[in-house]
Amino acid sequence: MSIRKDDNVRVLTGKDRGKTAKVLKVFRKEDKILLEGINLKKKYTKKRGTVPGTSIEVATPIHISNVAPTTSAASKTKKVVKKASKVVSKKVTEEKE
């Protein structure tokens, strides 16, 4: 995974498409990241005694494939290319006469 905590990323899909944000936390096993101010959901709390119920906006994780790393200066997305080294073996066949 090439994205780490405190990196700047641009959201590629979803309702927050085009926005840039800072990575707060990385969940490696689920391939998800938590972004600052992106993918906000409302969470409602129950009324407890004299305290009234309220709604709170909570950031939820987004899948790593929906973001791209950006440069901090220009806010342009980088193209991340990972190439696996391939070993190509040639099989030589002899013709029988």
85 — pLDDT class (breaks 50, 70, 90): low
Position 7, amino acid: D
Domain assignment present for residue 94? The answer is no
Please write the tens of the pLDDT for every residue from 38-75.
999 999 999 999 989 999 999 999 999 999 998 765 55
- Give the H/E segment covering residue 58: strand 55-59
Domain assignment present for residue 86? The answer is no
How far is the C-alpha of 87 from the C-alpha of 70, rounded, in Å? 32
Residues 6+ apart with CB under 8 A from 78: 68, 69, 70, 71
How far is the C-alpha of 25 from the C-alpha of 36, rounded, in Å? 9
What CATH number has the domain bearing residue 63? Answer: 2.30.30
Domain assignment present for residue 12? The answer is yes
Phi, then psi, of 64 in degrees rounded to 5: -65, -25
* Residue for token pair 């305290």: 51
Domain assignment present for residue 63? The answer is yes
pLDDT beyond 90 at 3? no
* Residue for token pair 């070993």: 87
Number of domains present in the structure of the chain: 1
Domain span at residue 43 reads: 8-69
